[in-house]
Amino acid sequence: MSKTKKVDLNKIRLLRKQKKLSLQDMSDILGYKTPNGYYYLEVGRCVFPADKLAKVADTLDICMNDLFFED
C-alpha cells in the first residue's frame, strides 16, 4: 500500500505563531480579503492550493517538502 502525503497543518500553524504572524498577516500575504480565507486553509476546512502552499513555505522560510507528512 502506498503512503499518501498530506499537508502538515499543525506544523504550519506552529511555524506561523513562532514567526509572530497573525491570521490577518497570512491572509494579506496570500491575497485574501479577510482572515477567514487563510484560516479555512490552516484548519483543513479547505484544501491548500499548490501556489498558496508555496507562498506559505516561502513566508515561513521552510522547504515546501517539509510542509508534508506521510499518512
pLDDT digits (tens, 9 = 90+) for 19-36: 999 999 999 999 999 999
Grid cell, residue 66, equals 517539509
Residue ranges making up the domain that contains 45: 8-60
Its pTM stands at 0.90
- Residue 38's Cβ-count burial label (10 Å; 0-12, 13-18, 19+) is buried
- Name the stretches of the chain with pLDDT < 70: 1-2
What is the count of structural domains for the chain? 1
Res 4: pLDDT: 86
Q: Could you tell me if residue 67 is inside a domain?
A: no
Q: Are 38 and 16 in contact (CB under 8 A)?
A: no
Res 70: pLDDT: 85
Q: Could you tell me if residue 66 is inside a domain?
A: no
d(CA 44, CA 3): 19
Q: Could you tell me if residue 20 is inside a domain?
A: yes
User: Domain holding 21: CATH number?
Assistant: 1.10.260
Q: Could you tell me if residue 41 is inside a domain?
A: yes
Res 3: pLDDT: 80
